[in-house]
Amino acid sequence: MEGTPQERIARRFNSFFKGFSIRIEPEEVVLGARGQIGAGGWRITYRVDPDDGGFPSLEFYATHRMTDDSHYRIWADGYAEKLEALRTFYGYRPEVPESKEEAERKYTEHNVRVAKELRERGLYQEGDINAYLRTRGEVGSDTADGSTSS
């Protein structure tokens, strides 16, 4: 890919959302930048951090009520690395005793762990009803309406 790291990152990010007219500009890909975009039904949080060589990398978490959540890191060369996201559902085998309970336990454990990691990175979307439901409300002080609980 041609261009500066900022241009490559912006171009790759924009390709994810081209059908929704959601864009970031290379000038916004600045080390330490944090942002949120809400458009076209999407809610996107992002951050720009240095890689091991000091070049920018952009990490984003995107939600839309009509699709699964997306979590990616876009490196300075434009490569997009898929990262863990909250899971939307779980499967189980009804003919296997306790299969549903085990699948639900693993689903909840995964989602709680990922939600906590997202919160630590500043990418967790507070007040998101789907995140609240997918973590069974176990992500600390977050509630479905975005208020805090004790």
Q: What's the pLDDT tens digit per position in 78-121?
A: 999 999 999 999 999 999 999 999 999 999 999 999 999 999 99
144 has a pLDDT exceeding 60: no
Q: CA gyration radius for the chain? A: 17
Number of other residues whose CB lies within 10 A of the CB of residue 82? 9
The predicted pLDDT at position 141 comes to 52
pLDDT digits (tens, 9 = 90+) for 5-54: 999 999 999 999 999 999 999 999 999 999 999 999 999 999 999 999 99
pTM, to two decimals:
0.87
Tokens of 52: 């091991």
Spatial separation of the C-alpha atoms in residues 109 and 105, rounded to whole Å? 6
